[in-house]
Each structure stands twice: as C-alpha cells, then as structure tokens.
Amino acid sequence: MAATIAVAVGQDKSGRVKTTHRLGSECARAEANTWRTFASAFTYQDGSGYIEVKRDGVTLARFDYNPE
C-alpha cells in the first residue's frame, strides 16, 4: 500500500500561484469549489477512489476507479 498525497494549487488575478500539499496514510482528498459547484477527488491507499461534481447538493457527475 502506498501513502497518499493531496495537492492543491490556487491562482489569483495577478498571476500569483499558491500551492500546498498534505500526506495521508489511509486516503487523500482534494476539492475545487465555487459558491454552488463542488468538485472532489478522493483516493484510498490501495489506489481506488472517485471524482465527484455536485451543484446545489445534486450530483452532476461521478467517476469511480478501481485499485491499482
């Protein structure tokens, strides 16, 4: 089993780029959101996980993937 890492990158109007990351021994999750739209990527230590997009609490799309 591998360790997991969640990486987030944000960019503002002036072109400044801000990056952060967090390690996880069991899973990693990253989000990219607006006021109404929420996108999440979730990966477990075995390589399985999902990507999901919701707007106003309704799931618009979800993609599940299998372990490595």
What is the pLDDT at residue 3? Answer: 83
The pTM for the full model equals 0.81
15-59 per-position pLDDT tens digit: 999 999 999 989 999 999 999 999 999 999 999 999 999 999 999
Question: What is the amino acid identity at position 52?
Answer: E
43-52 burial: b if 16+ Cβ within 10 Å, else e: bbbeeebeeb
CA atoms lying within 13 Å on the CB side of residue 46: 6
Q: Rounded to whole angstroms, how far apart are CA atoms 40 and 21?
A: 15
Q: DSSP letters along 7-31, please?
A: EEEEE-TT--EEEEEEEESSEEEEE
